[in-house]
Chains A and B, each alone.
Chain A
Amino acid sequence: MNKTVNQKAWFFVLPVLILVAFNAIVPLMTVVNYSVQETFGDNVFFWAGLRWFEEILRSPRFHDALGRQLFFTGTILAIEVPLGVIIALAMPRKGPWVSVCLVLMAMPLLIPWNVVGAMWNIFGLPELGLLGKTLNTIGFDYNYTRQPGDAWFTLILMDVWHWTSLVVLLAYAGLVSIPDAYYQAARIDGASSWAIFRYIQLPKMKRVLTIAVLLRFMDSFNIYTEPSVLTGGGPGNSTTLLSIDLVKIALGQFDLGPAAAMSLIYFLVILLFSWIFYTVMTRGEEQ
């Protein structure tokens, strides 16, 4: 659509601008302010320069949390995106089952995040939970509160449970927008189902999949509530992701300076990765 140049349009944007600026800029400035100061309580602050940044960037604790975060995000992306696409491909395109599938699949998306955590907490209990009891009955020594491996397994299974539907819904929306003529032409050209997927469905899903990967990346990097309810970062520090660590430092220990510096680094990491994803995934379209 060709848009007209109209500077008065700023008035339409003004309410949004004021609200978001109030919510984003003031707190962000607060964070920046803290990140370069040191406090010993009683509202006495000293200039600390970039010391907190250096400290955070050098601290093994931050490196470990970042490493765990990248592992978590990488794993869930590698599972949820292909799985979501497979499920979307297998879903019916029309008929009464479409609504049934969509409603049931969207359910996990609308459950409060701490309820998701609590639900899996109960579901996985070794003696009382369906999952924990079943695994132990068939011979696995499963206990997510004691064994880091089991904690990770439960954490990832929970995220797959919680968010794969988002990828399914997006991929499905991409699939139903493909006109019938494409499938008919492919049948006449003798294309195999793999060729149909590779040359028709995948290219048409590319845009929605870009959105899916970006949203899943951002949200999984920001994840806090579910793991904190499920494992609280434990056992030990084994499932302490970036957000959990940050909240421990900021609200738990009230180390405002390091927490603020970490927040900024954290935010920048997300922006950087989102930008890289976005650039890589949309590069093909420019040609």
Chain B
Amino acid sequence: MARITLKNLKHAYMRNPQRDEDWALKELNLDWDDGGAYALLGPSGCGKTTLLNLISGLLTPSHGSILFDDQDVTRLPPEQRKIAQVFQFPVVYDTMTVYDNLAFPLRNRGVAELTVDKRVREVAEMNDLTATLGNRASGLTADGKQKISLGRGLVRTDVNAILFDEPLTVIDPHLKFQLRSKLKELHTRVPNTMIYVTHDQTEAITFADKVVVMNVGEVVQVGTPKELFEEPHHTFVGHFIGSPGMNVLSCDLKDGHAYIDGNRIATANRAGAGAGKSEIGVRPEFVKFAGHGLEARVVKVSDAGRFSVVEADSAGGLIRLLVEEGGAIPSEAARLEFDPAATRIYTDGWLAGRAGQP
């Protein structure tokens, strides 16, 4: 077990990266605490799998270094890094039994057969595989196979961290929930660092203590699910997390305050000096109909169970808001009020006035 430190890490798949877009992973510094449950969240192609493969050693970074505790492992091959990894598509050794599959990583490392047997049975028990231990692995269903992949990671006692690369992609929806709870439960029993890559916010939020949000090759925010929801550092985070995502409205700035169509909007932060595209971000949960505020016109109401999602057109753009069941919804013209504590100004996408922001 170890703390993982990424220092000035950068990676490009081409030999001579010139422009910014050439980097699959832009420069990044990050600490992963020992025993934490992390999620790496972002849309497809944002560099999360690249980052994962750099940590496990399947890729060697073009730049920067990776430390496990204080040991530099940047150039070490995967088998020497004490890392387990579960892939998107289940990998099992078809010709072996479930038992032999689980024993494989230990036998490769020359562990005594007595210890192997003890570990395999323990892990099989944890993963509900005891009944199928003697079966051929090729005959199992996708979730069974994925449990084996997972088991092969858990069976080793020397593991620094377990990495998951979208492990639930090929699992039936009704089993996804089960397997996810299983992972969560395992994390409480096996205090390993776990890093879970996904593009599904629900998976990330239910699994992780801390979520790392990535977009186009860079980390946009690291935080608890609550932090990401309440204080997105970037409009991308606001948009990507939450359903429906955060409203992003164009606005004008005057003396650090935000104005939409001449109306001053009270915000939690103030914009600093300097030019850039200014926007206001506010989640649908913090917008309500009121007697005063921004003028808007209701264009669409959709029922989402306990509440309705209302779409309204305003001078700043389309605004979504949530109205609880039974709440009054004006038929056309309306005024909207934002909760000032949850309304923020963003400059060029980034939260304005935040320390250390580029």
Instruction: Spell out A's residues near B (CB within 8 Å).
Output: 179, 181-182, 184-185, 187-192, 195, 199-200, 203, 287
Contacts and interface: CB of A to CB of B under 8 A. Distances in A.
Given A181-B87, A203-B94, A188 B108 contact: no
A185 B53 CA distance: 11
Interface of B: 53, 56, 58, 77-79, 83-85, 87-89, 91, 93-96, 104-105, 108-109, 136, 149, 152
Contacts of B136: 287
Contact of B79 (A179, A190, A199): A190
B89 A181 contact: yes
Contacts of A182: 91
A185 B96 contact: no
A217 B105 CA distance: 38
Nearest to A287: B136
B96 A199 contact: yes
B91 A185 contact: yes
Given A179-B89, A181-B88, A287-B136, A187 B79 contact: yes
Q: Which 8 A-B pairs have the closest CB atoms?
A: A185-B91, A190-B108, A189-B105, A190-B79, A181-B87, A199-B93, A203-B95, A187-B78
Nearest to B105: A189
Contacts of A195: 104, 108
A54 to B, nearest CB: 47
A184 B94 contact: no
18 contacts: A181-B87, A181-B89, A181-B91, A185-B85, A185-B152, A187-B58, A187-B77, A187-B78, A187-B79, A188-B83, A188-B105, A190-B108, A191-B104, A191-B108, A195-B104, A199-B93, A199-B104, A203-B93
Given A199-B93, A200-B93, 18 more contacts: A184-B58, A185-B91, A185-B152, A187-B78, A188-B58, A188-B78, A188-B79, A188-B84, A188-B105, A189-B79, A189-B108, A189-B152, A190-B79, A192-B108, A195-B108, A199-B104, A203-B93, A287-B136
B105 A190 contact: yes
Contact of A185 (B77, B95, B109, B149): B149
B254 to A, nearest CB: 55
A188 B56 contact: yes
Contacts of B78: 184, 187-188
A265 B252 CA distance: 94
> Chain B interface secondary structure, helix, strand, loop or mixed?
mixed
Nearest to A184: B58
Contacts of A187: 58, 77-79
A185 B108 contact: no
A140 to B, nearest CB: 44
A209 to B, nearest CB: 14
Contacts of A191: 104, 108
A195 B149 CA distance: 17
B134 to A, nearest CB: 13
B93 A184 contact: no
Contact of A190 (B95, B96, B109): B109
A184 B85 contact: yes
A187 B136 CA distance: 22
A94 to B, nearest CB: 13
Of B95, B149, B152, the most chain A CB neighbours within 10 A belong to B95
Contacts of A181: 87-89, 91
B87 A185 contact: yes
A199 B105 CA distance: 13
Contacts of B108: 189-192, 195
A207 B96 CA distance: 17
A19 to B, nearest CB: 40
B58 A199 contact: no
A80 B35 CA distance: 53
B105 A184 contact: no
Contacts of A190: 79, 105, 108-109
Nearest to A187: B78
Nearest to B58: A184
Nearest to A204: B94
Contacts of A188: 56, 58, 78-79, 83-85, 105
Nearest to B149: A185
Contacts of A192: 108
Contacts of B85: 184-185, 188
Nearest to A185: B91
A102 B53 CA distance: 32
B96 to A, nearest CB: 7
A181 B88 CA distance: 8
Contacts of B88: 181
